[in-house]
Structure 1
Amino acid sequence: MARRPTIIDVANCAGVSKSTVSLVLKESPLVREETRAQVRQAMNELGYVYNRAAANLRSTNAGLIGLVINDLRNPFFTEFATSAQMALSGRGYATVVANTDEDPGLQAQVVGSMIEHGISALVISPTYGAEEDTFGPLARAGIPVLQVLRQVDPSERFPFASLDYARGGRLAAEHLLNLGARRIAFAGGVEGRPITLERMAGYLDVMRERGQEPLLLAGRSSRAFGRDTAVALSEDRPEVDAVICFNDLVGLGMLSGFLSVGRRVGRDIRIVGFDDIEECIMAYPPLSSVRCDIAGFGRGTAATLLDWLEEGRRPPPESRAPVSLVARASSLGA
């Protein structure tokens, strides 16, 4: 006996997501008429029969979006998650948010639970390690999945959206050199991780172009690392007169570290952070930073996901949002 066609078969035939087919079956007004006709044609071709009674048992989870974040303690990721959730809510979707705390086992667990509870789509800023434990079930689930800010599955199964980190590193390095910096270090980021390589890429390019030797100081992207590294630089590498930080947390830690040893930030040492979280403007001195407009990126991520979910417009395999440099007293001086 031939296998009965499934909703996934219909989605593949129509060239849309499983969730889009589901919306058509529920007669949702969110789907364009052109897409609706495309799905119905696929259903007719395959002989698909909608089991409304079974679907009603699952309807309590319709319109539920998963949002999985690697580190919600970091204000950068908190702002992204909040902005994306609010944008999804504005379009009538409920969001279930999970923090994985950089634990791949926990990530696989929460993603599996979200799939079981019937999410319609997923946005994930993933942690590193055991990638197939998370992305294998997602591929089999057949729902739209968008990787953001970090890419751990390089296949085209899961489109990737992020920011132009390489451009940000270049802007920071050129800014410091134009101010007269002679020895610039890059501080923070776990050595060898793709996100670390992305954020330092522009800095390395500028150093090479200017014939200068880079100085890479890998480590946890935290205030504590920034503070300790500032003290160590002052003692061991006093010739360093500027630092580009992997993120603003490292930069904020450096502000206090250099202050503790009597070095004047903005004069004796210039610092540029990365992300431009809200705390940058409130620090003393205010921290220069590569601005990523993470709130705008969160809203854009929500719009991209819903275009895919509702209209079947799959995003490109990779996209990058622009960044800019916000110069403040930590690099400009008083």
Structure 2
Amino acid sequence: MARRPTIIDVAKEAGVSKSTVSLVLQNSPLVKAETRADVRRAMADLGYVYNRSAANLRMSNAGLIGLVINDLRNPFFTEFATSVQMALSARGYATVLANTDENPALQAQVTSAMIEHGVSALILSPAYGDEEATFGAIARAGIPAMQVLRQVVPAERFPFAAPDYESGGRLAAQHLLARGARQIAFVGGLDGRAVTRLRMSGYLAVLAGAGLTPTVLPGRPGRAFGREVARRLALDYPQIDAVICFNDLVALGLLSGCAEIGRRVGSDLMVVGFDDIEDCALVWPGLTTVSCDIARFGQTCAATVLAWLEDGTAPPTDTHSPVTLIRRASTGD
């Protein structure tokens, strides 16, 4: 090798992450003895020399994990971020958290700043748009990073993990059919987004199997759209007797809208949400919803990244965690 070998060269030679090599150089007890031996062997083979004085300047940033979230105003993402942070803290890592507010330019900015400040790994629930500005920078930095909850680049480039959205849609549609619904609409979610397609796909499959025609009303996934669509359903789609919402925020808005126009949820219209945020059990009527067990999912993501860092165990390309249906009064239960 004509140029001086780098820590990235050592990582490639040993088949581990850059952060794992860093932990070995710091004599961290978190790295398995076998992995440490592989890294030391790679260093010797390449002639890598550790510059300890330069490394000491970076030590204050050791053990930082970057967590980039698309919308912390949504309780679903807030609970995820909290569970990740707590799980990392329990293992001695600090979390650098950024909310991008669905802004891809801001996402690229905060991600670059985290890389410059020496984060060991990144977990991103990404915004849509200009994906290369963010993920190209991560690739060049050579640090472990995974996409969670939303996939915006191929999972072969950056591993992806999410709840099994398709199964959730199936469970919701099957439940409504079992409750006697025959005209089921899917409400909310922006057209063309992968996460919208996934959450809707199980619903479409169940209706196709039952010989029923789907009704899809896309829209911004928030309470305002849900409240607005309650009146629209009553006026333009009086035949609809049940609704599956893209997320709980749309469903909670729909409950408010139905109360406003005097439509009884659970008898006149059955409503199912998606995510099982805390409000679902506290509103009246209680909201039937698909639970993603987001707290456990966050803990699993943290453990996955730490295994990647500490022993070089890269996560599977594509992981889908199980979901369940929580039945409450909004479907007459």
| TM-score normalised per structure 1 | 0.99
Measure the CA separation in 2 of the matches of 1:26 and 1:154: 33
> Are the equivalent residues in 1 in contact too, given 2:243–2:272 (CA < 8 A)?
yes
Per the alignment, residue 19 of structure 1 pairs with: 19
Measure the CA separation in 2 of the matches of 1:256 and 1:132: 40
Per the alignment, residue 83 of structure 1 pairs with: 83
Per the alignment, residue 128 of structure 2 pairs with: 128
Per the alignment, residue 256 of structure 1 pairs with: 256
Say whether 1:167 aligns with 2:177: no
Measure the CA separation in 2 of the matches of 1:33 and 1:283: 53
Counterparts of 1:1-334 in structure 2, within 5 Å, are: 2-333=2-333
Measure the CA separation in 2 of the matches of 1:200 and 1:229: 17
User: Structure 1 residue 235: deviation in Å?
Assistant: 1.1
Q: For 1:221, what is the secondary structure of its paired residue?
A: coil
User: Structure 1 residue 156: deviation in Å?
Assistant: 1.4
Per-residue Cα deviation, 1:38-76 (whole angstroms, up to 9, x for no partner): 100111110101010110011110000000000000000
Measure the CA separation in 2 of the matches of 1:182 and 1:161: 33
Measure the CA separation in 2 of the matches of 1:156 and 1:237: 42
Question: In structure 2, what residue type is equivalent to 1:296?
Answer: R
Question: In structure 2, what residue type is equivalent to 1:273?
Answer: G
Measure the CA separation in 2 of the matches of 1:292 and 1:225: 22
Per-residue Cα deviation, 1:103-159 (whole angstroms, up to 9, x for no partner): 000000000000000000000000000000000010011110011000111141211
Measure the CA separation in 2 of the matches of 1:294 and 1:332: 25
User: Structure 1 residue 233: deviation in Å?
Assistant: 0.5
Measure the CA separation in 1 of the matches of 2:323 and 2:199: 12
Question: In structure 2, what residue type is equivalent to 1:131?
Answer: E
Measure the CA separation in 2 of the matches of 1:314 and 1:195: 24
Measure the CA separation in 2 of the matches of 1:302 and 1:257: 38
Q: For 2:186, what is the secondary structure of its paired residue?
A: strand
User: Structure 1 residue 332: deviation in Å?
Assistant: 2.0
Q: For 2:273, what is the secondary structure of its paired residue?
A: strand
Q: For 2:271, what is the secondary structure of its paired residue?
A: strand
Identity of paired residues, percent? 67
Gaps of 5+ in 2: none
Measure the CA separation in 2 of the matches of 1:205 and 1:230: 25
Return structure 1 stretches of 4+ with deviation > 6 angstroms.
none
Alignment size in residue pairs: 333
Measure the CA separation in 1 of the matches of 2:16 and 2:332: 51
Per-residue Cα deviation, 1:71-92 (whole angstroms, up to 9, x for no partner): 0000000000000000000000
> Are the equivalent residues in 1 in contact too, given 2:72–2:99 (CA < 8 A)?
yes
Measure the CA separation in 2 of the matches of 1:222 and 1:139: 33
> Are the equivalent residues in 1 in contact too, given 2:155–2:318 (CA < 8 A)?
no
Q: For 1:182, what is the secondary structure of its paired residue?
A: coil
Measure the CA separation in 1 of the matches of 2:268 and 2:149: 33
Q: Aligned-residue CA RMSD in angstroms?
A: 0.8
Question: In structure 1, what residue type is equivalent to 2:130?
Answer: A
User: Structure 1 residue 305: deviation in Å?
Assistant: 0.3
Question: In structure 2, what residue type is equivalent to 1:177?
Answer: L
Question: In structure 2, what residue type is equivalent to 1:207?
Answer: L
Question: In structure 2, what residue type is equivalent to 1:180?
Answer: G
Gaps of 5+ in 1: none
Measure the CA separation in 1 of the matches of 2:159 and 2:76: 21
Quickly say closer, same or farther: Cα 1:155–1:87, change in 2 above 3 A.
Answer: closer
Measure the CA separation in 1 of the matches of 2:134 and 2:253: 33
Q: For 2:301, what is the secondary structure of its paired residue?
A: helix
Q: For 1:219, what is the secondary structure of its paired residue?
A: coil
Question: In structure 2, what residue type is equivalent to 1:144?
Answer: P
Q: For 2:244, what is the secondary structure of its paired residue?
A: strand
Measure the CA separation in 1 of the matches of 2:7 and 2:227: 54
> Are the equivalent residues in 1 in contact too, given 2:65–2:119 (CA < 8 A)?
yes
Measure the CA separation in 2 of the matches of 1:16 and 1:322: 29
| TM-score normalised per structure 2 | 0.99
